[in-house]
């Protein structure tokens, strides 16, 4: 009985799957294939609306392919190498860029729109990856749990004993946001000093989570009044909860930046369409992407809606040379782990 049922189910699944097996292939021939991370491609992300608008404007059909998160997407691209069917890749961040720039998978594109993008955002000198949105890492404060007079004003002040168990941090070994703070501290305090800061922060950290999601969840549950996140985080609460309870803290010393780039595959046979797609991303699509991703647009001409007043731009953006990151990251993470687990 059981066995027969099992066989029926398996056979049914197999048969059902056959017709669509061939169905996907036809599409491949004509559409521009765009690889993007999962949060970009789904119904909820900026992807579908962008594709629709782009198709309407240019008549070029686009197929979005989701590939997990940004790191998984990059690994996939590198694994596929020259055999990839992707024409464009969207969403590779500046801190992880070395691995893909070491290959010759991407081709340089000197878009005219680069003139509208501030130079501090152009993280790839070879223009194989063009910045399309960005944000800054920042500590978010819960104004109902911490009086304004007590708000920290710099990285240094965060290490003050008054914030004992009041900060939620994220592990740089498992999260890009955690890594962002690690790089920020190294840039700010320098090689000799950054570990001392972490030593002090260890006392103040309520916990160090595996990823941004659990950190921010703990924060909004009221576990601690400070969390590492983005300057753009308050926007969600203003838009959806009509609440200005959570605010981004801007430090004078500047904030580590995270930039998302788009690139064209060297193997693509549709270079012109790919370039048009990139240009579209850097111009008409800028505002929609910024709002959907809770990021800033890179194109300086774009006017942001009023709600972005709650996402204050820092006066200074700090970024680190990808070469330097790739060279030292392993050692930094080991030293960090050593200090934090003592």
Partner 1 sequence: MRKIRIPQKRGFYYMLALPALLVLLLFFVLPLLITLSAAFTDGRGAFSLATIIKTFTNPYTLRIMRFTLVQAALSTLASVIIALPGAYLLSSYSFRFKRLILALTAVPFVIPSILVVLGFVIFFGNNGFLNLFLMRIFGFSEPPLKILYSFGAIILAHTFYNFPIIMNLVASYAMHLDTTLEAASYTLGASKVRTFFSVTLPRLVPAIVSAATLVFLFCFSSFAIILVLGGGPKYTTMEVEIYRQARMMGNTAAAAALSLFSILVTGLLLVAYNKSQRRLAQGELYRDEQRAQNRKPASLVGRLLALLYTFITLLFVLAPIISVVVRSALSPAGFSLKWYRQLLALELAGSHMGSALPALLNSLVIATVVAIVATSLGTGLSASIARRTRSKTLLEWLGMLSMTVSSVIIGLGYFLISSQFRVGQSLSYLLVVIAHLVIAIPFTLRAILPAYRKIPLSYAHSARTLGSSAPKAFFSVELPLLKSAMASAAIFAFALSMGEFNATLTLSSATIVTLPIVMYRLIGSYNYQGACALGTILIIVSALVFLVTARPKGTRHGI
C-beta closer to partner 1: residue 91 or 254: 91
Closest separation in Å from C-beta 67 to partner 1 = 6
Strands 296-297 and 255-265, bridge-based pairing = unpaired
For partner 1, the binding residues in 157-196 under the rule CB under 8 A are 169, 171-174, 179
For partner 1, the binding residues in 32-61 under the rule CB under 8 A are 38-39, 41-44
DSSP classification of residue 69: S
At CA 121, angle to CA 104 and CA 112, rounded to 5? 70
For partner 1, the binding residues in 251-290 under the rule CB under 8 A are none
DSSP result, 183-247: HHHHHHH-TTTHHHHHHHHHHHEEEEESSHHHHHHHHHTTS-SEEEEETTTHHHHHHHH----EE
C-beta closer to partner 1: residue 44 or 300: 44
User: For residue 283, how many C-alpha atoms fall within 13 Å in the half-sphere facing its CB?
Assistant: 14
Instruction: Decide: helix, strand or coil at residue 268.
Output: coil
Distances (CA, A) of 335 to 184, 188, 309, 327: 16, 17, 38, 14
C-beta closer to partner 1: residue 72 or 300: 72
For partner 1, the binding residues in 118-147 under the rule CB under 8 A are none
Instruction: Decide: helix, strand or coil at residue 219.
Output: helix
Closest separation in Å from C-beta 43 to partner 1 = 5
For partner 1, the binding residues in 6-25 under the rule CB under 8 A are 6, 9-10, 13-14, 16-25
C-beta closer to partner 1: residue 217 or 312: 217
Neighbours of 81 (CB within 10 A): 11
Name, in order, each residue with C-beta under 8 angstroms of 117's C-beta and a sequence gap of 6 or more.
Answer: 130, 131, 282, 298, 299, 300
Closest separation in Å from C-beta 220 to partner 1 = 6
Q: Which residue is associated with the tokens 């021939």?
A: 29
Query: CA-CA distance, 268 to 154, in Å (whole number)?
Result: 46
C-beta closer to partner 1: residue 41 or 258: 41
For partner 1, the binding residues in 215-234 under the rule CB under 8 A are 216-218, 220-224, 233
- For position 67 contacting partner 1 by CB under 8 A, the verdict is yes
Q: Which tokens hold the place of 76? A: 């996939």
Query: CA-CA distance, 322 to 95, in Å (whole number)?
Result: 6
C-beta closer to partner 1: residue 43 or 252: 43
DSSP classification of residue 154: S
Of 2, 148, 269, 331, the one binding partner 1 by CB under 8 A:
2
Q: Is the Cβ–Cβ distance between 262 and 88 less than 8 Å?
A: yes
C-beta closer to partner 1: residue 120 or 236: 236
Closest separation in Å from C-beta 8 to partner 1 = 10
DSSP classification of residue 331: H
For partner 1, the binding residues in 71-110 under the rule CB under 8 A are 71-72, 75-76, 79-80, 99
Distances (CA, A) of 274 to 48, 237, 262: 17, 36, 10
Total residues interacting with partner 1, rule: CB under 8 A: 75
C-beta closer to partner 1: residue 225 or 263: 225
Closest separation in Å from C-beta 200 to partner 1 = 14
């Amino acid at each position: 009985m059981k066995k027969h049922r099992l066989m029926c189910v398996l056979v049914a699944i197999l048969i059902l799957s056959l017709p669509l097996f061939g169905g996907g292939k036809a599409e491949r021939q004509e559409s521009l294939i765009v690889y993007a991370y999962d949060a970009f491609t789904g119904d909820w992300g900026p992807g579908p609306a962008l594709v629709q608008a782009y198709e309407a404007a240019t008549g070029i059909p686009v197929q979005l392919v989701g590939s997990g998160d940004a790191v998984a997407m990059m690994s996939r691209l590198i694994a596929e190498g020259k055999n990839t069917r992707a024409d464009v890749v969207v969403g590779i961040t500046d801190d992880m860029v070395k691995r893909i720039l070491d290959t010759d998978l991407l081709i340089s594109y000197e878009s005219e729109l680069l003139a509208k993008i501030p130079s501090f955002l152009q993280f790839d000198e070879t223009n194989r990856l063009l910045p399309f949105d960005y944000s800054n890492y920042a500590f978010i404060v819960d104004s109902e749990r911490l009086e304004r007079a007590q708000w920290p004003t710099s990285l240094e002040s965060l290490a003050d004993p008054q914030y004992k168990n009041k900060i939620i941090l994220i592990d740089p070994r498992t999260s890009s946001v955690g890594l962002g703070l690690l790089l920020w501290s190294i840039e700010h305090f320098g090689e000799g000093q950054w570990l001392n800061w972490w030593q002090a922060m260890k006392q103040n950290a309520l916990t160090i989570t595996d990823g941004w999601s659990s950190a921010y969840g703990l924060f909004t549950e009221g576990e601690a009044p400070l969390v590492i996140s983005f300057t753009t985080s308050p926007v969600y609460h203003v838009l959806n909860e009509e609440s200005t309870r959570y605010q981004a803290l801007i430090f004078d010393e500047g904030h580590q930046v995270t930039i998302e780039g788009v690139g064209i595959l060297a193997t693509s046979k549709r270079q012109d369409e790919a370039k048009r797609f990139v240009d579209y991303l850097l111009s008409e699509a800028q505002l929609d992407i910024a709002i959907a991703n809770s990021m800033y647009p890179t194109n300086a001409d774009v006017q942001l809606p009023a709600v972005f007043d709650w996402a204050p731009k820092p006066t200074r953006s700090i970024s680190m040379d990808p070469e330097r990151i790739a060279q030292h990251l392993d050692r930094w993470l080991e030293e960090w782990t050593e200090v934090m687990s003592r």
